[in-house]
Amino acid sequence: MTNCPGCLKAGHHTYCPSCRKRLFDGKKVSPVLAFTRPMYNQARSAVTTERMSISGVQTKMSLRLRDSRLEMTESGGEYFLKPIPHGEFQRLDAAPINEHLTMQIAKQMFGIPVAENALVAFADGEMAYLTRRFDIQADGSRSLQEDFAQVAQRSEETHGRNYKYDFSYEEIGGLIRKHVAAHQVEMEKFLQLVAFNYYVHNGDAHLKNFSLIRNDRYGDYILTPAYDLLNTRLHVPNESRTALPLFKDDFATASFRANAFYAYDDFHEFAGRLGLHPARFGRMMQRLRDNESAVCSLIDRSALSEECKQLYKQHVQDSTRALSYSFDGRL
Ligand SMILES: [Zn+2]
C-alpha cells in the first residue's frame, strides 16, 4: 500500500497520524489483522442469506482494540469488520474497497459526517472494511440510537418482507420534522445524504440506513453520521437508482413523468417539500455538479481494479449529467 488505508493520502504504508487519531485514539495499529479470513468465517458461523441485498449478504463482526491489536469479540466491540460478501451479485471482491472509497468521497469531497472508516487486510491478504462505532462513548456506554424503520414503527411483522423499502424519503423527512428539535439543520444533512446516494449510485439506502442518535449532553436527537454508503450499481447493475422513491403518494414531477429518472427538478421539489432554503439547496447542488474531477482523482487513488474505477467514474458522470439537467429550465 502506498496510500493511507484510512484517507487514501499518498506516501503512507500504514495509517497516517490523523487517521490513527480518529480511528484508534492515536494507537499504532497495523493495517494487517492477526487472523485470516477462514478464521473469521469459523468465528462467524451464523450467516444470513434471507434478504437479497448487499447489506444483507455483507455480514459483519465486532472487533475490539486490545494492546494495539484488533481482535474479534462477541460483545463490547468498538468496531465493525465487513469482509467481502458472498452472493450472486457482481464484482463482490471490490465491495469493501467500494464502501471505503464511497465513505471517503462523502467525507472529503462533500463534508458529509460519516462513521470513521478504513481498509484493513486479513492475515492472508484479503481486504475488509473497518468502521468505528459512533454509538460508544469514551466510558464504554452506548448512546440511544434508532433507525428509521424503528422510528416509523415498521417491521417485517407489521409491514411484511419489503418493510425497509416500502416508504419514501419525503416521509423520512416528515419523521425528522416530528422527532428532531433542530430539524432544520438535520433536514439539510438528510437531503444532502439522499442527493449523495443518488450521485454515487447507492441504490440500497433503505429505512434502516438512516438513524437518529440521542445527544447525551442535551438529550435531543440528531442524525447519526452516515454509514453503509457504497456504489451498489457496481454489484447490481440493473437495480433501481434509489431504494425508496423521493416522494410519497406516488407523486412525480413533470421532469420525471417525461424522462423516468430523477434530475435537478426532482431534487428541487424535494428540497422545497423538506423546507430547505432555496439558496442553500442551490449551493448543495452546485457542489455535487462541480466536484467530478476531484471525485475521479480520489477514485484513482483507491485500490479498485481498472474496470471498477472506469465504471465508478462513468456512474458519477451519469449522475452529474442528470443533476445538471432541468426539464423546467431552472438551470
Ligand atoms: Zn490517513
How many whole angstroms from 144 Cα to the centroid of ligand 1?
29
Q: Which of 105, 132, 159 is the last residue of a domain?
A: 132
Three-state SS at 140? coil
161 and 297 fall within a common domain: yes
160 and 286 fall within a common domain: yes
110 and 183 fall within a common domain: no
In angstroms, the CA 182 to CA 198 distance is 25
How many whole angstroms from 15 Cα to the centroid of ligand 1?
5
Q: What is the pLDDT of residues 111-144, one digit of tens each?
A: 999 999 999 999 999 999 999 999 998 888 899 9
Q: Does residue 37 fall inside a structural domain?
A: yes
C-alpha cell at 325: 439537467
User: Taking Cα atoms as reference points, which of 132, 70, 68 lies closest to residue 100?
Assistant: 132
Q: Does residue 301 fall inside a structural domain?
A: yes
How many whole angstroms from 11 Cα to the centroid of ligand 1?
10
How many whole angstroms from 12 Cα to the centroid of ligand 1?
8
Parent domain of 158 = 145-323
pLDDT above 90 covers a percentage of the chain that reads 87
Q: Which of 109, 132, 155 is the last residue of a domain?
A: 132
24 φ, ψ to 5°?
-130, 20
72 and 186 fall within a common domain: no
In angstroms, the CA 179 to CA 170 distance is 14
Output the average pLDDT for the chain: 93
Does the pLDDT of residue 157 top 50, yes or no?
yes
Q: Does residue 267 fall inside a structural domain?
A: yes
Q: What is the pLDDT of residues 6-17, one digit of tens each?
A: 999 999 999 999
Q: Does residue 303 fall inside a structural domain?
A: yes
Q: Does residue 9 fall inside a structural domain?
A: no
152 and 228 fall within a common domain: yes
157 and 280 fall within a common domain: yes
In angstroms, the CA 41 to CA 84 distance is 11
Q: Does residue 3 fall inside a structural domain?
A: no
How many whole angstroms from 6 Cα to the centroid of ligand 1?
4
Q: Does residue 229 fall inside a structural domain?
A: yes
Surrounding ion ligand 1 within 5 Å at CB are 4, 6-7, 16, 19
How many whole angstroms from 112 Cα to the centroid of ligand 1?
17
Most distant CA pair in the chain, distance = 60
Q: Does residue 70 fall inside a structural domain?
A: yes
